[in-house]
Copies of this chain bind each other. A is one copy, B any other.
Amino acid sequence: MADKVTIADVARYANVSRQTVSNVLNSPEVVREETRRRVREAVRALGYRASQAARQMRTGRSRLIAARIEPAQEDGINGSVFDRFLHGITESAARSGYRVLLYTADDHDAELATFDDLLGVYVPDAFVLTSTDYDDPRAAWLLEQRIPFVTFGRPWGVPDGQKYPWVDVDGAAGTAMATRHLLATGHRRIGFLGWPEGSGVGDDRRSGWARTLAEAGIGPDELAELDHRTEDGVPEGAAAVTALLAAERPVTAVVCVSDSLAIGALQAGNGIAVIGFDDTPVARAVGLTSVSQPLGEAAARCVALLTDMLDGDAARRRPRDEETTPGDADAPPDDPSNDGAGARGPSRTTTSGDSPAHILLEPALVHRRSA
């Protein structure tokens, strides 16, 4: 608490006006070098930090990004994935001078109501949506309200999905990678343990496996034999692999749509090769080879897209992102030019003209004992 040092205190100390202090912090180029130095010194001496509330009143920007925290996931094993993503968002946002505001909601309707509530009271500058699915009303709502947002996850089957930016990990590339690895180590009968049709993520991951096997000369009939669909879960995975092993020509390896299924497959698989998806802690613990999503980078990209939008929104002056806290010069957030995005890792960025960016990141295969 201490004694709340305001911009007026700094101004008095440095023998300038409030506005000059404000200028030093927000548009330093309009202030003479010598004055700038003096004000900066005063800021440091008094330990001044700009009050976010007061700033928000004037500018309307809260420097808050809202994100939903999900309850322990359906299965739970995969819950940690979201946890790591949220951690990344928090870290990246902080680097750009934003903070993450949490909310919960049980279903889409409740979430829309929460949007409305938050926007009325705390007024976050942007939202990060996760777990996008078919018929997701949230994006449409936010688009209509003209609230900046990014989704982590592609707009599955939504026609206007191209209207907003998203970041996703190329699941098909991940399963393709896994399948190629198994082919390279001599396997021919490579099964797939997937979710029931109708899940965007699940169908995508299946396609990578199917494509790779087809390229290796496996015909559609055999592919159908090797393909197994089931609900997510460890026992389900065990049951599924048992079925695939009991077939006339049993599988010698399986690629799984999730670590949960893979754990089950590992338990009941009688030593066949198993590859999971998500590289959860459990995978690490039991030595399961798994496809790893670059969650930290996905989070960083989401935040970068948001800050681009937000700074573009208030594009009157070049928003040099000058942090009010003196002394902790943090690395510049990211090269804001769009072409630079592709350079920092394996990813594809799709941008046509003024339309929002769509970033597809490449996963990696983490090799362990199971394959």
Contact = CB atoms under 8 A, between A and B. Distances in A.
A86 interface: yes
Interface in A49-77: 49-54, 56-57, 62, 64, 69-73, 75-77
A70 B52 CA distance: 25
14 contacts: A47-B120, A51-B57, A51-B121, A71-B84, A71-B87, A72-B80, A72-B87, A72-B281, A75-B285, A100-B102, A101-B101, A233-B285, A234-B286, A263-B285
Nearest to A66: B99
A4 to B, nearest CB: 9
Contacts of A100: 101-102
Contacts of A84: 71-72
A50 to B, nearest CB: 7
A30 interface: no
A2 B90 CA distance: 28
A285 B235 CA distance: 7
B86 A69 contact: yes
A103 to B, nearest CB: 7
Interface in A90-127: 90-91, 94, 99-104, 117-123
A123 to B, nearest CB: 7
A298 B75 CA distance: 23
A281 B76 contact: yes
Given A53-B54, A76-B285, A80-B80, 14 more contacts: A49-B120, A51-B121, A54-B57, A71-B87, A72-B80, A72-B87, A76-B284, A77-B282, A79-B281, A99-B118, A101-B101, A102-B102, A120-B325, A263-B286
Contacts of A281: 72-73, 75-77, 79
Interface residues of A, number: 60
Nearest to A260: B285
A321 interface: no
A280 interface: yes
Contacts of A94: 103-104
A145 interface: yes
What 3 A-B pairs are tightest by C-beta distance, nearest first?
A76-B281, A49-B120, A234-B285
Interface string A239-265: 000000000000000000000100100
Nearest to A99: B101
Interface of A: 1-2, 47, 49-54, 56-57, 62, 64, 69-73, 75-77, 79-80, 83-84, 86-87, 90-91, 94, 99-104, 117-123, 145-147, 233-235, 260, 263, 267, 280-282, 284-286, 324-325
Contacts of A121: 49-52, 324-325
Contact of A146 (B1, B49, B80, B99): B1
Contacts of A103: 90, 94, 99
A119 B151 CA distance: 30
Given A117-B325, A121-B52, A325-B117, A80 B76 contact: yes
A58 to B, nearest CB: 9
Given A94-B104, A99-B103, A103-B94, A282 B53 contact: no
